[in-house]
Amino acid sequence: MHVPKPPFAGSKSERYAELNAQLAALLGAERDGVANCANMAALYFEALPELNWFGFYFLRGEELVLGPFQGKVACVRIPVTRGVCGAAARERKTVVVPDVQAFAGHIACDAASRSEIVVPLLDGARLLGVLDADSPRQNRFDADDAAGLEAAAQILVQSSDFSRLSG
Ligand code: SME
């Protein structure tokens, strides 16, 4: 039987602070980038409501290549010239898309997706890849999600060794 997740206790930013502290503890003893992305995807996919996909793409040359994720099977390679992921990678900025059908060039991996947020994984000025979350609800992501996931991305980058993954 499907049991709905309980509503957030506290504000969204308080919930992210709690979740990001859990992430820091979870990743604290491990530096392998793939292992840390895999556990982060499992943690956030379960903890954040109304998601149908949460995962990572790593920058390899001019392409983003699929990394660990939770959700339906996804496109493996995304040129940095394409999609929401490509936009976040090119601009090195978080991109929030309230309605994916209104975003020219959106790449639909799961037809259920209605809104999306993509956060660049930055090690200083160096782009390692992107964190991507999709929702079946329009307008699912706001500035609190952007701030919370940007902080989470920094915890991930600082806790992990990506030297054999990106380039
Ligand atoms: N929608 C993304 C592609 C990746 S999937 O959402 C997992 C994009 O437009 O870049």
Q: Which two tokens stand for residue 23?
A: 């992430």
CB 118 within 8 A of CB 132: yes
| Structure confidence by residue, pLDDT tens digits, 137-163 | 999 999 999 999 999 999 999 999 998
Q: Which atom of ligand 1 is nearest to the CA of 103?
A: 9
What is the DSSP annotation of 68-121?
A: EEEES---SEEETTSHHHHHHHHHTS-EEES-GGGSTT---SSTT--EEEEEEE
DSSP tag of 5: P
CB 19 within 8 A of CB 133: no
4, pLDDT greater than 70: no
Considering the chain, what is the average pLDDT of its residues? 94
Q: Which two tokens stand for residue 60?
A: 């390899």
pLDDT value for 29: 87
| Residue ID of nearest Cα to ligand 1 atom 3 | 107
Q: What is the pTM of this model?
A: 0.94
Q: Ligand 1 test: best mutation among 51, 106, 110, 140, most atoms within 8 Å of CB? A: 106
Q: Ligand 1 test: best mutation among 77, 134, 135, most atoms within 8 Å of CB? A: 134
In this structure, the residues whose C-beta lies within 6 A of any atom of ligand 1 are 53, 74-75, 78, 83-85, 106-107, 109, 113, 116, 132, 134
| Structure confidence by residue, pLDDT tens digits, 32-64 | 999 999 999 999 999 999 999 999 999 999 999
Q: Can you say whether the dihedral through the CA atoms of 85, 110, 107, 165 is positive or negative?
A: positive
What is the DSSP annotation of 18-83?
A: HHHHHHHHHHTT--BHHHHHHHHHHHHHHHSSS-SEEEEEEEETTEEEEEEEEES---SEEETTSH
Q: Which atom of ligand 1 is nearest to the CA of 106?
A: 9
